[in-house]
Structure 1
Amino acid sequence: MGQTDSGVPEERVLRETVHYCNRVYQRYSIDNELYWAPVDEEEIHRMQALHLAINVALDGNLTIPVLGEPQRILDCGCGSADWAIAAANKYPKCDVKAVDICPQLLPNSVPSNLQLIIDDLNGRFTFRSSYFSFVHSQMVAEGISANRWENYVRDIYRVLKPGGWCQLSELYLNAQSDNGTLAADSALSRWSAGYLRGSQLQKDPRIATKLGNLLKVAGFAEIKCQMFKMPMSAWSNDAREQTIAQTSVNAIQSMLYSVGLYPFTRKQGLSTVDFEQLVHDARDEAKDPARKAYFSLYMWTARKPATAP
């Protein structure tokens, strides 16, 4: 612990949980409105499925930039640590550090070159400047406060070595249709609107679309974005998207409930019965291949200039 100045309590406190609507949450995150998703086995399975879907999108690669032999890697918001474990195994001579606020999500056994750090990314990084060869950040929008993002990206810039790369990946949970069949009153559209409305009180649920400007302001160069469709059913004729759907379908079915439960019921006051009905209807629409529904995954890469001080 202790790689940011967030002042998080000891691990014993962070391991305390609370049950809400038959799901398990980290008490500290709920009390401090840090992270609104569950931390139970079902959520770990969702994270693992999403990791596989993203890995397929990258044709089996962990990164878009070719890293060569990195010395040090930082994984921000590692969740169940699937990416960090894969990175540690791929680069056995590399020192990999992975940070997350929820110890409930972390595995008990990891490669010897991987260090798991329990900390809050909303605090300023205390890692040394120009220390890491590569920084990976994935699906942290639900845990980063809206007013933290600019300095979060600046922190990533500062701890990177000159010439080092970063890769930031976020889902934009605004349901889309490849054939325009999602009406504004559809369950998926209503879920998306409600999620965005409930989350934006403290978070920035649209951050996936804004990272390019933040990377530029922080001083990064070679900024690029790739957008991948995460299909909600096996509707696509594209070979890659068909393979992505094999894991993204289950991840999204689970996500519609787990990611939405707190913003809908606690932040907006929707009854549990009404929320569950909305999720039921949204799942039915998502499974319908005729709707060609998907969420967009934005994957940003950028490089700290080699001439940076």
Structure 2
Amino acid sequence: MFMPTRRPPLCIPNMSVNHPPPRHGCIYRSSREGPFLRESDGRVFNAQNDVYYLPADDVEFDRLALQHRIHYHILGSLYPGGDLVDRILAPEWGVEKAVLDVGCGACHWAVEMALKFPHVHVIGVDLAPRTNIPEQPPNLRLEFDDANLGFPHYHGCFDVIHCRSIVTVGIHDRDQFFQEMERCLRPGGIIIVIDGEMPTLNHNRQRIPPAPMDGNYPQTRGWMARIMFEASQDFAARGASPIFYDIAGVLFQSLVATGAFFNPVIQLMYLPLGPWPVGNTEAETRWIQQLGEMMRQNGLEFTRSLRPTLKHRGFSDEDVDKMLFGAEREMLDLSVWMYTRWVYIYAVKPR
């Protein structure tokens, strides 16, 4: 049985669905003992490290639920790779299968994977995972931990490792992180990485220059670009690794640098911040405008979550309000047609 303990086990012990792990099991590293959460500007944040500085409260969990729907809308699935993941996780007599969701956050992906694959042990790890999950699947376990500290207790334990929206905003050393993920993956296992660049792009997919702080909307445009620029500077100063260009190339090189992933498969996507694009058919237009509306709602809430970050950069409440207002109007009025660039990448570890 998968019992909670202060020191993680060397690997996932044998379990059966008849003897599930305890609900809300909690493991954390002794080097980071203490409170898990803290408050700032009316929002709740993790208290385990200063690298990842996005909220960990119900408002953020709702945004992450929307982001989860966005990626499902794009992929038509819980993951890229489709049948490949299904084959890797297919039941095998006498073989325990396991999935690691790094930076599980609100746990929507982890929950759905546990439901889709009831014979698979799903482990969700986060600095501050959501723990009040209704009807938590018995094969899902959550852990408080910092991915920057490594997972030596999980080397060779997982068939699938999933990393979404963590590498660019929560990881100090990308190459070291992917080397550790490779060690945690079993031969024949797959790593899935989904992440986005910080800059916003115009309708020609060129970088939008940040608005000057002495301007005002609507005379001055580029306020979303200004917020993303300032946030990325703050993330970098905290020790994260935001990506400003060529996200596909950067992550590809980091995976290849492990020496284990030789042919990562990449899907690069330009996601509109608003329902402004038009497709080649009526069905395409409906699909992309539905995506754009979800991205707009996600963008609106994401910029609001950055208020503490912008204040940490030294901006006054007045300047923060000006930036947030300008970015909000750009998205709501569609006065600036914007994209953000995301990458979906997966790679298989050779047997």
- TM-score grouping bracket, smaller chain normalisation: 0.7 to 0.9
Q: 2:277 aligns with which of 225, 236, 241?
A: 236
Cα deviation for residue 7 of structure 1 reads: 3.7
Q: How does 1:1-309 map to 2 (within 5 A)?
A: 2-3=7-8, 7-10=30-33, 13-14=35-36, 16-18=37-39, 20-26=40-46, 28-29=47-48, 32-65=49-82, 66-67=84-85, 68=87, 70=89, 71-103=97-129, 105-109=130-134, 110-140=136-166, 141-145=168-172, 148-179=173-204, 182-185=208-211, 186-201=222-237, 202-206=239-243, 208-209=247-248, 210-219=250-259, 220-238=261-279, 239=284, 240-258=287-305, 260-266=306-312, 268-289=313-334, 291-306=336-351
Secondary structure at 1:13's aligned position in 2?
coil
RMSD: 2.3
TM-score, structure 2 normalization: 0.77
Q: Quote the Cα distance in structure 1 between the aligned partners of 2:31 and 2:75.
A: 34
Q: Aligned residue for 2:13?
A: none
Structure with higher RCO (Cα < 8 A, 6+ apart) = 1
- Contact 1:227/1:297 (<8 A) preserved: yes
Asked whether the equivalents of residues 150 and 177 of structure 2 are also in contact (C-alpha less than 8 Å), the reply is yes
TM-score normalised by the chain length of structure 1? 0.87
Count of residue pairs brought into register by the alignment: 295
SS in 2 for 1:177: coil
Distance of 2:194 and 2:258 partners within structure 1: 17
| 8 Å contact from structure 1 (residues 182, 291) kept in 2 | no
**Does structure 1 retain, via aligned residues, the 8 Å contact 2:98–2:158?**
yes
Helix, strand or coil: the match of 2:200? strand
Larger mean Cα displacement after TM superposition, 85-94 or 281-290: 281-290
Cα distance change, pair 106–280 in 1 and its aligned pair in 2 (3 A): farther
- d(CA) in 2 for partners of 1:153 and 1:167? 11
Q: Closer, same or farther in 2 for the Cα pair 1:183/1:118, shift >3 Å?
A: closer
Between Structure 1 and Structure 2, the one with more strand by share is 1
Q: Identity, % of aligned pairs? A: 22
Q: Is the partner of 2:344 in helix, strand or coil?
A: strand
Deviations 1:47-69 (A, max 9, x none): 11011001111023433342125
The C-alpha deviation readout for 1:219-265, integer Å capped at 9, x for no partner, is 2122122122222110122324223224222111100121x323321
